[in-house]
Structures are given as C-alpha cells and as structure tokens.
Amino acid sequence: MKITLRLIVALLLAAALVASAFSYLQVRSERTRLNEELERRAGILAESLQETVTELVRADSSVKLKRLVEKFGNRERLIGIIVFDNAGSVLAETPGLSAKISGPVDQLSKSANENGEFSTFVKINGRKTHAYLVSLRQEESVLGSLGLFHDASYISVRLREIWKYNFLRLLVLSLLITLTTVLVVRWSITGPIAKIAVWLKSLRMGVANQPISLPRGDILGPLAEEVAHLAKSLAQARSAAEEEARLRISSDSLWTEERLKEFIKNELGGKNLYVISNREPYMHVRQGRKVECIVPAGGLVTALDPILRACGGVWLAHGSGDADMETSDEKGKLRVPPNQPSYTLKRVWLTKEEEEGYYYGFSNEGMWPLCHITHTRPVFRLDDWINYQKVNEKFCEALQEEISGEEAPLVLIQDYHFALLPLLIKAKKPDAKVAIFWHIPWPNPEAFGICPWKKEILLGMLGADLVGFHTQFHCNNFLETVDRFLESKINWDEFSVERHGHATLIKPFPISVAFPASPPEVEKTPPNGSLRESILKEIGVNTQFLGVGVDRIDYTKGIIERFRAVERFIQKYPDFSGKFTFVELGAPSRTHIKRYHDLLSEVEETADKINWSLQAKSWRPIVFLKAHHSHEAINRYYKTADVCLVTSLHDGMNLVAKEYIASRSDESGVLILSQFTGAARELHDALMVNPYDIEEMADAIYAALTMKPDEKTERMRRLRQTIRERNIYRWAGTLVSALVRMRVQ
C-alpha cells in the first residue's frame, strides 16, 4: 500500500506542476491577446472619430462636440469619451467621466500630445479600464487630444475562468490518475508479486508441484525469469537431496550433480579445471539490432557444460559468434551461463585464414573423414597443416596466461582439433596434468597411415598423461597405431605407452548425458497427447505414428540411408502409408566445405523425391526441418516420437540416442540404433541395425511400431536404468579422477 500511495502522490505532484505551468503560460498568452484586441478596437474607433473631432475643435463648436461625444459614448464596453484642448482642459466628455478617473486627468492629455497616441490602464469606480488617447493635429500644431475609455474588467473574468477550468481538469485528472494507478499497480505489480510470494512459499514448504503462470512484461519480466530459475533450482536441489538420501539408505553408487560437486571439490582440492575445445558452450550472435546468447548444438557442449557448472574452472574455446568480442572483456573472458554464472569462458580469436585452414581444412576435410572411414576421401594440404599448428600454439599461449602461476594445473583437452596441444603444454608446463579426450572414432593403423603427418599427431597426443576414447575398441586401435608408427614401449596389461621416460595411459570413458531429475524439473509440459497435436499442427501433417532423427547434417550420420529406409518401410508395409511420418531435425554444418554443401542438397532432394512419390493429401512420409534447433524444441519431439532413428555409419558415441532415452519419462518409445556407434556397446535393449542394410532398417521400423506395449516399457525401463547409472556425472567423475591421480614424471 505504501508504494501505491507514494506512486500516486508523485504522479499527482507531477501532474499539478505540469498543469500549473501550462495554466500560467495559457493565462499570460490569453492576457496578451485580449489586451492587444482591446487596444486594436480602441484604435480603430479613435481613428474613425479623429478627423471629425479635430474639425469641431478647430471650429470651436462645443455644442456639436458634446453631441458627438454623447452619440458614441454608449457603445459596447465603451465607458466614455473625453476631448481635451492643447492645454489639457476638458472640452467635452461623457457626463461625469473625468471625475471618476483615478489620478490626474491632464497627464493623459499631455502623454497623448507628446507621443501622438497613448495607451494605459486606469481605475474607474474601482473597475479596470483601458484608456486610449490620440492627439488632434492640424498640420504641425496640436489642437488637443481625444480619449476613449473601455471597460477591461472582462479580461480578469476571462483569466479567472481559465484558472478555474484548469483546476477542475486537474481534479478530474487526479481522480483518474489515482484510480488508474491503484488498478495498474494491483493488477500488474502488487497482485502478481503477492501471487508469486504465495507460490514460492508453498514451493518452499513442498506443497506446490505445478508451475505458476508468471507475468511477463517490461516491469516484472526480469523478476519472473529469476523466479522461474529459482523455482527450477529449488526443485532440482530438493530432488537431489531426496536422491542423495535414498542413495545413502540403499548404499547405491549413482552419480549425481551434487555428488560430482563434492567429489570434484575433494579431488581437486581447490584447483581449477581447464577445459579446451574448439566449440564454445555459449555464443553471442546478432539477431537484427539485438544480441542473443545461444547454446551451439553438439554432443560436446551437452556433455561438458554440466561438468564445469558443477566444479567451476575455465573453458577456453574459439570465439566464433559475430557478437562474441563485444560481450567479452579485453582478455576475451566472461562468466557463464548468463542466467547463473558458474565458470569462466575465455574466447580465443582466430583469423579467417587460421579458421579456414585449421578447422575447415585439416580438422574437417582431413582428420574427420580419416577417423570415421565413411567412404569420403580425406584431403590433406600443407597450408592447412601449417594453420593447424599455428592455432594449437595460439591456444597453448592462451592457456599459459591462465596456468603460469599455478602448480600442477589440471587440463582437459577436447577432440581432434588439438592433437598437438598436449605436447606443447608439457613443453612449457612440465608439471601440468594433461588429458585429451578423443570424441570421434580412432581408425585402424592401415587407415590412419594415410595421414602425411601421422607421427606428429601421435607424438602430440602422447604428450598427454591420459588419452581417453569412448570404447575399448578405439583404445586398442590407437595402441596398435602407436605400435605401428612410433618406437615406444606399450604395456598391454595396463594399456599405456611409455616413450622417453614419459608414460601415457590409454583408457575408455563412455560419454553420456545428464539424466533428468526425479521428480521432473519445474516445466510447463503439456500432456503427451496435446504435445503431439501441437507438433503435428506445426509441421502440417496428419499421422498416427511419429519418428524422429536429430543430427548435424554430416555424411557420417547416415541420413540418406535413413530416408531410404523410411521409403522402403512404406513400400514394404503399405498398411502404414498415411500413418507414419518421420521428422528429421537437421542442423546445417560446415556448409562451405563442398562435401557438406553437396550433402545438404542431396538430403533435401532425397526427402522431396520420396515425398513426391508417396505423399497423399495432408500426409507425407518425411518432414525435413533444416535449422539450428534449441534443446527445448528437440526435447518436444523426443517426448512424443514413437521411434527414434540413430543410423550413423560410424560414430564415436552419439548422444542423441542417450538424450532420447533420458527424455522418455513415460517409459515408452523405441530406439533404433546403428551397430557402428559407440552407444551400441551400452544400449543393448535398442533395436540394432546395420545402416547400410536398408531392408533391415525398414523391418526394424515395423518391429518398433508393432511392438507390444509391455515389451516397449520393459526395454525403455532397462535403457533408462543404464543411462541413469552411466550418466555424464559418472563420466566426468571417472575422467577427472583418473587425471588427478596420474603421477607426473
């Protein structure tokens, strides 16, 4: 109530001040206008009488002069007329007029004779009167003067009316301001705040379990957003506490975010964790005149962001957003995430030439196809290799600025973009504990032997104390490759490589996702039926069964094979024509590399061709949504899809499979999974397929859609248990633990 009263008083004072100022200006303007109008009217009348009165005064015709004065002395607002001689004596006047004028009358005549004309205000019977006098002349001599006296009291009346009316308007305006302020404050501020307070109290006491419909607007928008984050954090904290209590009772070893935080705190002993990757976890881009913070798509960001949220530290990455520089400080640093800063992001700036050679050239036209062995020929160019070395050195220098004064810093390097970095770091900081995690497959020695700089790549990676892969199979391939091309001692019992007194441990760390809290986070999620209806309306399709695929548009993901499997499924099982639609959420990637540009066109053409041959009315078999989709948008499709297809031709892990499983809290849906993914080593209850076998994939889709509900539930329950136990926190805990406990020689 106090804030409402203060707001009303402030608004009324402001309105009164504005109204008074404008009323004053209006009164002053109106007074000037009325005075000028009265003077103009008097001047016109005086000019019409001046010649006649002059002739009568010259002829000394007092009788005619008095008759003239009496004739014109009764006009509207004209109180009277006086005629003076050149000495200031009254020759003729409206009866008794000179006696009523306050002050010496002859002074008026003198002023008129001296100036030719004279205008002033005088008092007559206490009333404000306008006096206008003009001299009567014959050639150069002054015969006398003529005076006209008009009633000017109406001017004061008019000005008082202005003040009165403006005061009444102010009263009405004050009443409207008061009522409007009370209603607006109650409706938009105090009411919603009270509602939020009651809801937060019930949430704190554990009574509320449904999200509140929070107000959104200019005033309460930030508050509503923070309340939503607070509610989400509170629900997560309560869920984590309940889960921890349950685990203590059951002596379960499940990894949670809270357990990881405590584990990292104990393992690191206050040390920072330094993560290095090409892709940054948060990118700032321009959207029109605004700058927006987005989360780039990809499994690496999905996996690593929760780790640094849990333990803190510094993430070094390439600043690739067009607004990254202006949102960072002079050292390229900023705290992230934006809504709840937990760690530091340090952006490293690359030139266009460096990015073209290091990222698009050597990394993605050379190393990527080399490691995936998907029948795309790797391209190796000397200029690309030179830029690859330069960028690795640039990241090494950026890291040195952060760790130069720290004893035995912990460094976790991500992926094939930085194969040379471990050795560079060790050369400058020998006591650093360095790990590199390779997110893509490692090929057999024969395939890797294609690379012209294979020895430099291997030597750079062996500079690390720990090299991690997703599967033991990839670890074995790496050890065989080292054995083939380098002189070294390989310990197959411990899976380590010793070279020049430095030992490198090679271990598998299957990466995963963050399993959702139970009960679910505070989100406004519609029932599955209405969610499906909403999605079908968005894509403009009428169908009974829905399939989903989520990928970067990459030739390793088997998207073309997936589309052909959908086509073959409809042809082979025509009963599902008009009943099954597959939605591909595809994010364009590396499109100015010719192979990727051609692939994007091929994917679109394949989808169009299949739709053209099979679609009917409001149904089509394939919906290709080409865009960078948010995690929230993707999760909507995960939750409602009857089947998820992951058909990679070769993949280190593939977190899409695990994300789909984690999203299915209803324990429904079927995962069809390529046998050539790392995830296939863990997710045994998925329907395994060879993505090169179109017939097998078509049959798998049929098996998924016709599977009995009990079997679906049982399979999904076991898959979810696997993801729940082998989650991202377990991956982070085991990887960081292995790094911390390494003995640096």
Strand segments (E) across 307-461: 314-318, 333-336, 343-348, 410-414, 433-437
Handedness of CA 307, 310, 311, 317 (dihedral sign): positive
d(CA 150, CA 592): 91
234: Cβ contacts below 8 Å, ≥ 6 apart: 203, 204
- For residue 519, is the peptide bond before it cis, meaning its omega torsion is within 30 degrees of 0? yes
8-state DSSP, 515: P
d(CA 384, CA 367): 11
Handedness of CA 387, 388, 389, 394 (dihedral sign): positive
* Residue 446 φ then ψ, to 5°: -60, -45
* pLDDT tens-digit map of 361-387: 999 999 999 999 888 899 999 999 999
Contact in structure between 101 and 24 (CB atoms under 8 Å): no
- The predicted pLDDT at position 347 comes to 96
C-alpha to C-alpha distances, 451 to 299, 379, 483, 501, 530, nearest whole angstrom: 26, 9, 16, 26, 53
d(CA 362, CA 309): 32
* pLDDT tens-digit map of 109-124: 777 777 778 888 888 8
* pLDDT tens-digit map of 147-165: 888 888 888 889 999 999 9
- The predicted pLDDT at position 39 comes to 87
- Tell me the three state secondary structure of residue 367: helix
Handedness of CA 13, 17, 20, 26 (dihedral sign): negative
CA-nearest of 604, 598, 482, 524 to 232 is 524
The angle formed by the CA atoms of residues 454, 457 and 462, to the nearest 5 degrees, is 125
pLDDT band at 521 (very low <50, low <70, confident <90, very high): very low
- The predicted pLDDT at position 228 comes to 66
- The predicted pLDDT at position 249 comes to 42
d(CA 274, CA 402): 9
Contact in structure between 589 and 554 (CB atoms under 8 Å): yes
Question: What average pLDDT does this structure show over 513-529?
Answer: 59
* Residue 151 φ then ψ, to 5°: -70, 120
Q: Is the pLDDT of residue 247 over 70?
A: no
Q: Is the pLDDT of residue 721 over 90?
A: yes
d(CA 316, CA 688): 37
Q: Is the pLDDT of residue 741 over 60?
A: yes
Question: What average pLDDT does this structure show over 694-722?
Answer: 97
Q: What percent of the chain has pLDDT over 90?
A: 53
Of 249-263, 381-395, 662-676, give the lowest mean pLDDT range. Answer: 249-263
Q: Is the pLDDT of residue 216 over 60?
A: no
Buried b (16+ CB within 10 A) or exposed e, 125-154: eeeebbbbbbbbbeeeebbbbbbbbbbbee
- The predicted pLDDT at position 413 comes to 96
Contact in structure between 649 and 691 (CB atoms under 8 Å): yes
Contact in structure between 241 and 380 (CB atoms under 8 Å): no
- Tell me the three state secondary structure of residue 585: strand
Question: How does the average pLDDT of the chain come out, rounded?
Answer: 87
* pLDDT tens-digit map of 460-504: 999 999 999 999 999 999 999 999 999 999 999 999 999 999 999
Contact in structure between 497 and 489 (CB atoms under 8 Å): yes
pLDDT band at 519 (very low <50, low <70, confident <90, very high): very low
Beta bridge pairs of residue 134? 117, 146
- For residue 378, is the peptide bond before it cis, meaning its omega torsion is within 30 degrees of 0? no
Question: What average pLDDT does this structure show over 240-247?
Answer: 58
Q: Is the pLDDT of residue 414 over 70?
A: yes
Burial class (CB in 10 A: 0-12, 13-18, 19+), 330: exposed
* pLDDT tens-digit map of 262-303: 888 788 877 889 999 999 999 999 888 889 888 876 656 766
Q: Is the pLDDT of residue 457 over 80?
A: yes
**Is this prediction's pTM over 0.85?**
no
Q: Is the pLDDT of residue 146 over 90?
A: no
- The predicted pLDDT at position 632 comes to 87
Question: What average pLDDT does this structure show over 73-99?
Answer: 80
- The predicted pLDDT at position 136 comes to 84
273: Cβ contacts below 8 Å, ≥ 6 apart: 264, 307, 308, 311, 312, 313, 314, 410, 412, 736
Helices and strands in the chain, H and E counts: 24, 23
d(CA 395, CA 474): 26
Which one is predicted more confidently, 451 or 234? 451
* pLDDT tens-digit map of 298-321: 656 766 787 788 778 899 999 989
* pLDDT tens-digit map of 577-603: 999 999 999 989 888 888 999 999 999
- The predicted pLDDT at position 599 comes to 93
Report residue 524 as tokens: 């406004």
Question: What average pLDDT does this structure show over 670-678?
Answer: 96
Of 35-44, 513-522, 717-726, give the lowest mean pLDDT range. Answer: 513-522
- The predicted pLDDT at position 529 comes to 63
Q: What percent of the chain has pLDDT over 70?
A: 90
* pLDDT tens-digit map of 328-374: 999 999 999 988 898 999 999 999 999 999 999 999 999 999 999 88
